[in-house]
Structure 1
Amino acid sequence: MQALILLGLVGLAAQLVDGSLGMAYGVTSTTLLLAIGTNAAAASATVHLAEIGTTLASGLSHWRFNNVDWKVVAKIGIPGAGGAFAGATFLSSLSTEMAAPIMSLILLPLGLYIIIRFTACGLPRDNLGKPLRKRFLAPLGVVAGFVDATGGGGWGPVGTPAILASGRIPPRKVIGSIDASEFLVAVAASIGFLVGIGSKNINFAWVGVLMLGGVIAAPVAAWLVRHIPPRFLGSAVGGVIVLTNVRTLLRSDWIDASGNVQAVAYIALAVIWAAAIAYSVREYRRDKKRKSVEAKLHRRTEEEPTPA
C-alpha cells in the first residue's frame, strides 16, 4: 500500500512539473520504477499506459485555458506516434545506453540557449506568429516519439526546447501543444509495448495510481502555465533541460564522474539557475512597471484637451 501511495504522489508531482514546463512526467516516473527493479520495457510500458489518462486530462485542461495550437499538435503528434510505436516495439532489443549521452549532447546546447535567451532578452518576438512548418515538426516528432518510448521519457525534453528555441509561439502554447500531442504518443507507445512484451510484465495497479495522481494534477498545472510569465517560464524550462542533461552526461560511461564531482556540478548549476530565474522575475516586474507607466502617460495624453 505504501508503494502505491508513493507512486500516486510521484504521478501527481511529475504531472505538476510536466504540465507546467512541458516535460518530466515520463523521466520522473520511469526513474522511480527502474530504481525499484522494474526492467526497462516494463517501466516504459507502465508509464506510457498511465500517460494515456494523464495526457488526455492535461491536453483537455490546456485546451480549456487556450494553451493549445492544434495545428502544431497535428503536425508533430502524428509523426510522433509513429516514432513511439517503432521505439516501443524494438525496446527489448535496443540498448539506449549510448543513445542517452548522445541525445544529452544535443539537448544541452538547446537548454543553454533557452535559459540565456529568455533570461537576458525575454520572449523572442522576431519570429512570434510565424507558422511552424511540417518539415520541421514531422522529423522532430519522429525523433522525440522514438526517444520517448525507448527511454521511458523524452517527448517533452526533445520537443519543448526545439519549439521554444524557434520563438514562433508563446511558451504556454508550446507546453500546452506538447502535452496535448503526447496523448497520441502515449497511445501508440502503449500499443507497441502490448504487442512487443504483452501485458504479463505490467503491473496495472501501478498504472492506475500513476494515472490518478497525474489526472488530479493536470488542471492545476494547466492553470499555472497560463499565469506564469513567459520570461520566467523560459528560464525555468532551460534550467530543467540543462540540469537533466548534465546529470545524464556525468553519470554516463563517457565521463563516469565521482559522487563529489556530481554534487559540486549540481550545486553550481542550481545556484546559476536560481540566479537566472531571480533575474528573469526582476526584469519581468521592471518591464511590467514600465508598460504600466507608459499606458498611464498614453491615457493622460489622450485625455488632455487639444488646443483651440
Structure 2
Amino acid sequence: MRTLVLLALVGLGAQLVDGSLGMAYGVTSTTLLLAIGTNPAAASATVHLAEVGTTLASGASHWRFGNVDWKVVIKIGIPGAIGAFAGATFLSWLSTEIAKPLMSILLLALGLYVLLRFTLRGLRTDRLGQPLRKRFLTPLGLVAGFMDATGGGGWGPVGTPAILASGRMEPRKVIGSIDTSEFFVAVAASLGFLFGLGTAGINPTWALALLIGGLIAAPIAAWLVRLVPPRVLGSAVGGIIVLTNVRTLLSLDSFPVSDGVRALVLGIIAIGWAAAVVYSFRQHRKAVAAEKAETVGEPEAAAATAV
C-alpha cells in the first residue's frame, strides 16, 4: 500500500510539472521505477500505459484553457506515434543488462539538456506568430517519439525545448500542444510494448496509481501553466532527473565505486543543482523587473513626446 501511495504522489507531482512545463512525467516516473528495481522495458511500458489516461486528461484541460494549437498537434503527433512504436519494439528486444544502463544514460542526457537549456538560456520570444513548418515538426516528432519509448520519457524534454527555442509559439501553447500530442505517443508506445512484451512485467496496479495521481494534477497543471515560471521549474526538474540517474548508474556493477565517492559525487551534483535553481530564479526576477520597467517607460516616453 505504501508503494501505491508513493506512486500516486509521484504521478501527481510529475503531472503537475509535465502539465505546467510540457515535459518530465515519463522521465520522472520511469526514473523512480528504475530506482526501485523495475525492469527497464516494463518500467517504460507501465508509465506509458498510465500516460494514455493522463495525456488525454491533460490535453482536454489544456484545450479548455485555450493552450492547444491543433495544427501542431497533428503535424508532430502522428510521426511521434510512429517513432514511439519503433522505440518500444526496440527496447522490448534488449536484455535487462544492456537496457538499464542505456535507459539511465538516456535519462541522464535528457536531464542535463533540460537543466542546462532552462538555466543558461531561458526562453526565446522574438519570433512569436511565425508558422512552424512540417519539415521541422515531422523529424522532431519521430526522434522525440523514439526517445520517449526507449528512455521511458523524452517526448517533452526533446519536443518542448525545440519548439520553445524556435520562438514561434507562446510557451503556454507549446506546452499545451506537446502535452496533447503525447496522447498519440503514449498509445503507440503501449501497443509497441504489448507487441514486444505481451503483459509480462507490466504492473497494471502501479500504472493505475500513477494514473490516479496524474488525473488529479492535470487540470491544476493546465491552469498553473499561466503562472509558474518555466525557467525555474525547468532547472528544478532537470536537476532531479540528473541526480537520480547518476545515483542509479553509480549503483550498477558496471560502475564500481566506493560509498564515499558516490556520496561525494551526488553531493557535488546537489550543490550544482541548487545553484542552478537559484540562478534561474534570479534571472526570472530580473526579466520581470526589466519588463515592468519597459512597460512603465512607454507612457512616460509618450508623455515626453507630447510635451
Q: What range describes the TM-score normalised by the shorter chain of this pair?
A: 0.7 to 0.9
Distance in 2, Cα, partners of 1:103 & 1:205: 24
Q: Which runs of 5+ in 2 are unaligned?
A: none
Per the alignment, residue 50 of structure 1 pairs with 50
Aligned length: 296
Q: How big is the shift at 1:28?
A: 1.8
Quick check: 1:63–1:176 contact (8 Å CA) kept in 2? yes
* Worse overlay, 150-159 or 256-265: 256-265
Per the alignment, residue 14 of structure 2 pairs with 14
Per the alignment, residue 241 of structure 2 pairs with 244
| 1:268 corresponds to 2:265 | no
Partner SS, residue 226 of structure 1 = coil
Distance in 1, Cα, partners of 2:209 & 2:120: 38
Q: How big is the shift at 1:91?
A: 1.2
Quick check: 2:119–2:276 contact (8 Å CA) kept in 1? no
Quick check: 2:28–2:241 contact (8 Å CA) kept in 1? no
Q: How big is the shift at 1:167?
A: 1.3
Q: What letter is aligned with 1:219?
A: P
Distance in 1, Cα, partners of 2:207 & 2:103: 26
Distance in 1, Cα, partners of 2:137 & 2:35: 33
Partner SS, residue 202 of structure 2 = coil
Quick check: 1:249–1:255 contact (8 Å CA) kept in 2? no
Could you tell me which of 261, 278, 282 is aligned with 1:278?
Answer: 282
Partner SS, residue 38 of structure 2 = coil
Pair 17,114 (structure 1): closer, same or farther in 2 beyond 3 Å? closer
Question: Structure 1, residues 207-258: CA drift from partner, whole Å, max 9, x if none?
Answer: 2121111011000001000233xxx323432553466357656847699773
Seq. identity, %: 57
Quick check: 2:110–2:154 contact (8 Å CA) kept in 1? no
Per the alignment, residue 223 of structure 1 pairs with 223
Quick check: 1:110–1:162 contact (8 Å CA) kept in 2? no
User: Which TM-score applies when normalising by structure 1?
Assistant: 0.84
Question: Structure 1, residues 104-132: CA drift from partner, whole Å, max 9, x if none?
Answer: 558746753443332xxxx4233221111
| 1:234 corresponds to 2:231 | yes
Distance in 1, Cα, partners of 2:256 & 2:243: 11
Distance in 1, Cα, partners of 2:234 & 2:284: 12
User: Which TM-score applies when normalising by structure 2?
Assistant: 0.84
Q: Which runs of 5+ in 1 are unaligned?
A: none
Q: Alpha carbon RMSD of aligned pairs, Å?
A: 2.9
